[in-house]
């Protein structure tokens, strides 16, 4: 058992511990089961999946992945997902960092109005319907035929992240700026040499969550690639399989696609789970 290493555990202490881990065991199975089903299912035949087979695949059909990557064109979608997610992450970090810094450190004309606008947009939530005017605007600007439209729409207004970075920057002592200015730094120097290196922790939070959102997004990616199926990302391509003509015969391919879409983020999570969890509360407390 889990507690075998503890030497003197009285019965009174032992019982709640067993109860705790039985409950946690159930929760862990509940949580992991759909993920395990996806990964193991991606290696089964369609018949095994739909007619009931063992927990593990009878034989491991790695060719499902070959079919997904080659026949269902997932190589392209994976590449799109990587390009989009990385670009969104970079764009979010750079733009939030710049504006968060200046809002925390300088008074300028129109700042109050801007802050009020940013704040109000955090509370006005019209949902995915706002994608339509964005799409139309990008079409008017002739940007709708490139992956750039998706990157812009997915990065979004970033109001929450701007406030997050602004709040964090306010916590960095102003004396450091002043010292740098005395030493001859310009505003750009103060930003790039003093504040930027010190705001790495909060920028890591912005980066992590931007990457996650971009990689996992479905609706924005679907709409922004509606006229350019070649630009679809993994999530869009995976869900589209549900509507393919022979969807009933392709559960194994769907699950292979789903695995391709979730495994990269699982790997990121494996290394950064502490940061994900800590970042969530950093955002909640300050935002």
For another protein, the binding residue among 78, 251, 253, 256 (CB under 8 A) is 251
The smaller minimum CB distance to another protein, of residues 176 and 268, is found at 268
Q: Exposure string (b/e) for 182-191, b if CB count within 10 Å is 16 or more?
A: eeebeeeebb
Site for another protein in 112-171 (CB under 8 A): 112, 114, 117-118, 121, 123-134, 136-139, 152-153, 155-159, 162
Report the residue number, 71 or 281, with the smaller CB distance to another protein: 281
Give the interface segment with another protein, choosing from 65-73, 167-175, 193-201, 235-243 (CB under 8 A). 235-243
CB 134 → another protein: shortest distance, Å? 5
In the bound state with another protein, the residue whose beta carbon lies nearer, of 10 and 123, is 123
254 interacts with another protein by CB under 8 A: yes
Query: Closest separation between CB of residue 181 and another protein, Å?
Result: 13
* Interactions with another protein, residue window 53-92 (CB under 8 A): 91
Instruction: Name which position in 189, 198, 218, 228 contacts another protein (CB under 8 A).
Output: 218
Q: Which of 78, 164, 168, 212 binds another protein (CB under 8 A)?
A: 212
Cβ distance 286 to 168 under 8 Å? yes
């Amino acid at each position: 058992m889990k507690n075998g290493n503890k030497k003197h555990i009285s019965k009174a202490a032992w019982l709640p511990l067993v109860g705790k881990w039985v409950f946690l065991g159930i929760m862990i199975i509940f949580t992991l089961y759909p993920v395990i089903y996806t990964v193991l299912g991606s290696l089964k035949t369609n018949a095994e999946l739909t007619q009931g087979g063992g927990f593990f695949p009878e034989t491991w059909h790695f060719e499902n992945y070959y079919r997904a990557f080659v026949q269902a064109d997932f190589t392209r979608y994976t590449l799109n997902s990587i390009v989009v997610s990385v670009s969104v992450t970079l764009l979010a970090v750079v733009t939030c960092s710049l504006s968060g810094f200046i809002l925390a450190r300088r008074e300028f004309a129109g700042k109050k109005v801007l802050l009020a606008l940013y704040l109000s947009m955090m509370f006005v939530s019209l949902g995915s319907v706002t994608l339509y005017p964005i799409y139309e605007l990008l079409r008017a600007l002739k940007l709708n035929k490139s992956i750039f439209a998706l990157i812009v729409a997915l990065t979004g207004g970033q109001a929450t992240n701007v406030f997050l970075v602004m709040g964090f920057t306010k916590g960095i002592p102003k004396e450091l700026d002043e010292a740098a200015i005395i030493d001859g730094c310009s505003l750009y120097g103060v930003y790039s040499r003093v504040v930027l290196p010190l705001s790495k922790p909060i920028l890591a939070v912005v980066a992590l969550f931007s990457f996650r959102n971009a990689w996992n997004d479905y609706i924005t990616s679907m709409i922004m690639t509606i006229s350019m199926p070649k630009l679809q990302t993994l999530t869009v391509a995976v869900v589209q399989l549900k509507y393919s003509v022979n969807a009933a015969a392709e559960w194994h391919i769907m699950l292979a696609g789903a695995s391709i879409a979730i495994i990269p983020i699982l790997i990121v999570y494996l290394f950064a789970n502490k940061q994900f969890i800590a970042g969530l509360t950093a955002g909640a407390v300050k935002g």
